Amino acid sequence: MSVAPDKTLTLQDRFWRELPEMAVRWQAEVPPDPQLLVLNEPLAADLGLDAAWLRSADGLRFLAGNLVPAGAVPVAQAYSGHQFGGFVPRLGDGRALLLGECVDRHGCLRDIHLKGSGPTPFARGGDGLAVVGPMLREYVVSEAMHALGVPTGRALAVLGTGRRVERDGQLLPGALLVRVASSHLRVGSFHYAFQLTSATGDLKPLRRLANHAIARHYPRAAESQRPYLALFKAVVEAQASLVARWMLVGFVHGVMNTDNMTISGETIDYGPCAFMEAYDRETVFSSIDFWGRYAYGNQPAIAEWNLARFAEALLPLLADPASGDPDEAITLAEQAFGGFQQYRADWSSGLRAKLGLSEDVETDVVTSLFDELQLLLTESRVDYTSFFRHLGQAARGGAEPARGMFVDLARFDEWLSRWLALGPDAESMDRVNPIYIPRNHLVEEALTAATAGDLDPVNKLLEAVTDPYNERAGFERYASPAPADFGSYRTFCGT
C-alpha cells in the first residue's frame, strides 16, 4: 500500500531558537537498510502521527531523521554531568539528536529524539551508534514504566539500521531508537549554562535556560515572586516523587549521573537499568558501578546529592542582587529543598497503598510495619514484586503463597497477623502491585532472540509488561522471578 507523505507533520525548533549556545546543528546518518523493528502505535496516535505513514518509506526516513519535517532543525544538545561523582564539563549528545518538538493531542510539547543516529561533535571518540539489544531494552523498560504509572520518556520506535556495529569484539546488528519526552533538559544542562555564565560573567544563558524550563514544565513558577526559586522547588518535588515511584516498583536506574537526571521529573536514559527481584537494598546491576553508588537503596540519597548540584548551578539566579548577602541564595535553596520531605511523603503514601491500608492507619504504623518487613524480605531473599501480589491474596484469606516465601515462618506469621488486624483491602492492592514487570531473564531472552532476528519474544514481553496489573492466562512465566541458574545479573551501559 502506498501512503501519501504526511504533509501536516511539522516540528518546532524551540530549543534551538531559545538556546543556540547549547546546541549544534547536525544531521542524522543515512542508515544503509532501515527496517522498522517495533512501532508504538498508541504513542504515535498521541502525537498525532499516522502509524500507516510511519510504516511507509517516507515514514521510515522521518523516523531515521533523514526526512526533516517543516520547521525542524535537528540538533545535538550540549550538557555537562557529574559521572559517578566526578564533574565532566562537556558531555552532550554524542550519538543522539533532538529532531524537534511536536505538540501532542493534549497540547503538550514533546521532544522527538533519536539515539544511535551517528557521531556528533560530542561523540568524544565514540562511534555514535547503537545496537538492537540495548535499544529494545530501553523500549521495553520505558514502556513498562509508563504502564506502571512512573513518569518517563517513551519509546516511539526502534529501527534496525542494516549496519553492523562492533561491540566488545563482536559485530552486532545496528539500531536506532526514536524516543519522546516532555524535554531532555537535565541537571547537567544547567551546569553547562552555568559554565557559560561563569566564563563571561553574563547571566543571560543561564537565565534563558531557566526561563525555557519554566515555560515548558513549571509555568506557574513564572507567576511566583521568586521564579527561579520556585523552579528549584518544583524540580525537587518532581524528582522526589519520581524516585519514590522507582523505589516502590523496585526499579534500579543504574546510572544516576546528573546528565541523566531530568528537570521534568521523567525517567530517561535507560542504560544498565533493571528491576530488583530478591529484596536487597544493596542491589546493583551495572557492570561499571563497582562501589554500589547507584544501588537500589542509595537512589533517594543520590537524588538529593544531584539536586544539591542543581542548586549550585542555579545559585547565580537565586541571589537577590539588592540584598547584598551572598549566603542568602544558599539559605533560600536549603529552605526550598525542605529536607527532601516530599520523598518521604510519597514513599509512605505509596507504601500504604502497596499494603492496602486505609488513611485511618497512622503513617508511623505503616512505616514501622515496612521496616520490619524489610528485614524479613532481605533475610529470605524474597522476590519483591510477586510478594506484594501474594500478600493481596493473603488479605483474601489465602496466605500460603506469601508464607511459602519465608524462611523464618514464625516471625513472618507474627508480622502477618499484625498487618491483617489493620484490615487491608485486597482489591486496591491489586491495582497498585504489578504482576508483570520486565523480568531480567526474560528481557535477556527477548533481546538475544531479537538480535538474532526473531522479534516474537520482545512482542510477547511487551504485551505482558504494558498491562502490568491485569493477570492473564498464557503469561504465567512473566510473573515469576528468574530461575536459580540465571545467576547474578549484570547490565552494560553506553552500548
Q: Would residue 90 be called left, alpha or beta, if left means φ above 0 and alpha means ψ between -120 and 50 degrees?
A: beta
Which residue blocks in 32-179 are alpha helix, DSSP H? 41-46, 51-55, 57-63, 132-147
Q: From residue 426 to residue 445, what is the string marking binding to ligand AMP with x (rule CB under 6 A)?
A: --------------------
Single out the catalytic residue among 93, 111, 259, 430.
259
**259 catalytic, yes or no?**
yes
123 binds ligand AMP (CB under 6 A): yes
The answer to whether the annotation marks 127 as part of a ligand binding site is: yes
Cell of 305: 546529592
Give whichever of 129 and 319 is closer to ligand AMP, judged by the CB atom. Answer: 129
Asked if 114 and 177 count as a contact pair (C-beta separation under 8 A), the reply is: yes
Residues 76-105 that bind ligand AMP (CB under 6 A): 91-96
Contact indicator for 319, 312 with CB cutoff of 8 Å: no
User: Is 95 among the annotated ligand-binding positions?
Assistant: yes
Q: How many angstroms separate the CA atoms of 295 and 253, rounded?
A: 9
- Interface positions, 128-167, toward ligand AMP (CB under 6 A): 128-129
Q: What is the DSSP string of 198-267?
A: HHHS--HHHHHHHHHHHHHH-GGGGGSSSHHHHHHHHHHHHHHHHHHHHHHHTEE-S---GGGBBSS--B
Q: Which is nearer to ligand AMP, 260 or 491 (CB)?
A: 260
d(CA 340, CA 302): 12
Amino acid at 51: A
Q: Is 29 in the site for ligand AMP (CB under 6 A)?
A: no
Task: For cell 527496517, name the residue.
Answer: 35
Q: Which is nearer to ligand AMP, 19 or 131 (CB)?
A: 131
Angle at 329 between CA 323 and CA 333, to 5 degrees: 145
Number of residues lying near ligand AMP (CB under 6 A): 20
Contact 113, 26 (CB under 8 A): no
Does 92 appear as a known binding residue? Answer: yes
Interacting residues with Mg ion (CB under 5 A): 260, 269
Ranges within 263-292 binding ligand AMP (CB under 6 A): 269, 271
Residue 494 within binding range of ligand AMP, rule CB under 6 A: yes
Q: Which stretch binds ligand AMP (CB under 6 A): 8-16, 65-73, 175-183, 254-262?
A: 254-262
Quick one: which segment of 118-126, 196-204, 333-341, 436-444 binds ligand AMP (CB under 6 A)?
118-126
Beta bridge pairs of residue 195 = none
Q: How many CA atoms lie within 13 A of 230 on its CB side?
A: 15
Nearer to ligand AMP, 127 or 467 (CB): 127
Looking at the Cβ atoms of 310 and 337, the one nearer to ligand AMP is 310
Write out the catalytic residue numbers: 259
Binding residues are 92, 94-95, 115, 127-128, 179, 186, 260, 269
**Which residues are at the interface with ligand AMP (CB under 6 A)?**
91-96, 119, 122-123, 126-129, 255, 259-260, 269, 271, 493-494
Binding residues for ATP are 92, 94-95, 115, 127-128, 179, 186, 269
